[in-house]
Amino acid sequence: MHSEVGPSIKDAIIQCRGIVQMSRPFMPQPPTEATLEGDAADWCAHQYYKGRNILPGTLAPNGVEITEEMIRGAVLWRDTVGVGGVAQMMLLMPWTTPDGQPIMGTADHYLWKPKARRLVVNDYKFGHRYVDAFENWQCMDYAIAILHMLGEADADDITVCIRIVQPRYYNADPIRTWEVGIGKLREYATQSERASNESLGPNPECRTGNACLDCPASHACATLRTATGNIVEYVGRVQNLTMEPDQIGRELQIIEDAALLLEARANGLRAQAESLFFGGKRISGWMMERTWGRLKWKCTPRQAAAAADAQQINIVVSTEPEVCTPTQARQRGMIVNDELAHRPSKGWKLVRDDGTETRKIFGVNKV
């Protein structure tokens, strides 16, 4: 059980108090390709932490295939966290919702060092979007809950280290840390509790920012729509002129912030359009296109190896009956037909419709 104002959404609530109540009509959200991939990568990382090595091609519990990239991330997580500590712990926040409901969340991993008076909170992020360790509200909530659970909430000599492990963000160190004393952490705790209460209170304020990118209500948010409308009007009025350095800096900030908000608005409209398509309605200028996954064996590894042997090609990658992927087998020269492998459907995605597909079907020339 996770609260709608739990640690995992706290960064968004700090920015926008209205996100909780705005999102309710659109919850729960169906899993996306990115969320499914992230869940599979998280499962793989925790398997490696437990000492269980997973091979590429293994299916995670949610059916997503484990990739070599996930395994590299899992090794980084295992080597960073090390031995000891507690993984996947369900935590109870020391405060409740205004109506008395508990607030819970699950920490990826923490390590308490009582002699050193030090708590390390580790969080694994597989996505590409940068996650900062500094003032990471999700991890600070975890730290607050852990210290209460340990009976150390009133101590004054504890240092908390928040550590983010993000293997696929390539513009910074994949391991980032931030340290905060328990006194300062208590100040953050006060802000966190107040933000939770305000988000569940009457008329919480909506504010645009990074949280809009993942907001389920971005397509229905009047605040975001107004902001993006003002951006479009502003861009339309910009004239080509010689600018001073300070003017360049200010406009660059405006444009970068604008790009973020426009992306958030586009994501919301895209989700709404997809829902309409699946409901039988059409959106002018757009169409749904089927997406396909990686080529996968339809047969057993032994059968694939036997088929390769018949072509005098070796595709076995270990002493076990494990073989390389169908794509790698083709690179080795093997003829892989439809009886041996296939591409499973991954669902549908919204794409621009310029009329090409219609012309292919009906043979209509574009004038």
Q: How confident is the model at residue 263 (pLDDT cuts 50, 70, 90)?
A: confident
165 strand-pairing partners: 124, 175
pLDDT of residue 71: 94
State mean pLDDT over 190-206: 94
β-partners of residue 121 are 110, 162
| pLDDT of 230 above 70 | no
pLDDT at 359 exceeding the cut of 70:
no
Calpha distance 124→143 (Å, rounded): 15
Q: How confident is the model at residue 70 (pLDDT cuts 50, 70, 90)?
A: very high
* pTM value > 0.75: no
- 3-state per-residue secondary structure call for 103-128: EEEEEEEEEEECCCCEEEEEEECCCC
How far from 342 is each of 307, 338, 355, CA to CA, in Å?
15, 6, 29
- Say how far apart CA 281 and CA 90 lie, in whole Å: 42
Average pLDDT rounded to a whole number, residues 22-27? 90
Determine the average pLDDT of the residues in 342-357.
76
65 has pLDDT over 80? yes
* Backbone phi, psi, residue 99, to 5°: -95, 15
Measure CA 171 to chain center: 17
CB count, 10 Å around CB of 27?
10
Predicted confidence band at 94 (pLDDT cuts at 50, 70, 90)? very high
Q: What is the pLDDT of residue 367?
A: 40
pLDDT at 318: 66
What's the average model confidence in pLDDT over 170-179?
Answer: 90
Question: Across all residues in the chain, what is the average pLDDT?
Answer: 86
Distance of CA 194 to CAs 107, 190, 203, 209, 303, Å? Answer: 21, 6, 15, 20, 61
